[in-house]
Amino acid sequence: MPTPELISPRSPRVTAARRLAKRNFRGKERLFLAEGPQAVREAAGHLAGGEATLVELFATLEAADRYADIVGAARDAGARVHLASEQVIADISTTVTPQGLVGVCRFLDTPFDEVLKARPRLVALLANVRDPGNAGTVLRCADAAGAEAVVLTDASVDVYNPKAVRASVGSLFHLPVAVGVPVEHAVEELRAAGVRVLAADGAGDRDLDDELDQGTMGGPTAWVFGNEAWGLPEETRALTDAVVRVPIHGKAESLNLATAAAVCLYASARAQRAAGGCRSVTGN
């Protein structure tokens, strides 16, 4: 059995990768970590600005054998592949139980102007969302609902936070993501592009069911989702075309951010696809 190339957590390559767990190092290097087979597989097949997104891969011997197709795809993409000890992987990984694969990836965010030029029909706008797990989960929901873009405002969490990357379960590599956009600018430009901007808020004066029944949800739409704890401030709600609440038919006090986002995004997706029928999530 071959000896792992990187046997010491003090190796310069390991040190450089480990630093990417911190936002300031990610920003300086414009690199981030993708952990686990699903994320690494998606990264290996992704291009950003014409360049391969995956630049480096660390894998234990067991993982390299189990996921030989992923390691092969990484090599085909031009990534430098390191066989590493479990200690090295544990040192780089930010998870309690690493899966044996950790990729180093180039930033892949899309300029907001390019998002607008693509004339998206469904957009998720995260305004002041601070929890990386929630951000990643909303991104995953947006991808599943067929959204064409996700926009994170300048007050939101770093989408390259390892927890956000994990929570997206590969969806970070599937659709354009714009970051650092002031919420006022984002809403103004989306509206100017003919996109109806809706704020999702439990205290909204409009009901999502009523919006669907009235047939107002079929056009290009951007949903604005706010902070997990205190929602959207009045000044942000005032920027939008309408403030919409998800109806609570039972006794639950409220829905969490990711669940509300999924309901809203799928409501828009359903309305926009009504003429052609709803796509089955199973493909049948």
Burial of 250 (0-12, 13-18, 19+ CB in 10 A): exposed
pTM of the complete model: 0.90
Sign for the CA dihedral angle at 278, 260, 221, 190 comes to negative
Q: Which two tokens stand for residue 19?
A: 């630093």
Rounded Cα distance, 73 and 44, in Å: 6
**Torsional class of 49: left (φ above 0), alpha (ψ -120 to 50), beta (otherwise):** left
Domains plus CATH for the chain?
12-106 (3.30.1330.30), 112-273 (3.40.1280.10)
Q: Note the pLDDT of residue 135.
A: 96
Q: Going by C-beta distance under 8 Å and a sequence separation of 6 or more, which residues neighbour residue 51?
A: 106
Q: What is the pLDDT of residue 230?
A: 80
Under DSSP, the state recorded for 131 is -
Strand spans (E) along 189-259: 196-200, 206-207, 221-225, 242-245
Q: What is the pLDDT along the chain (284 residues), one digit of tens a residue?
A: 455 555 577 788 999 999 999 999 999 999 999 999 999 999 999 988 788 999 999 999 999 999 999 999 999 999 999 999 898 999 999 888 889 999 999 999 999 999 999 999 999 999 989 999 999 999 999 999 999 999 999 989 999 999 999 999 999 999 999 999 999 999 999 999 999 999 999 888 899 999 999 999 999 999 999 987 788 889 999 999 999 999 999 988 888 999 999 999 999 999 998 854 444 333 43
Classify the phi-psi angles of 187: left when phi > 0, otherwise alpha if psi is within -120 to 50, otherwise beta.
alpha
Residue 98 CB partners (closer than 8 Å, separation 6+): 35, 86, 89, 90
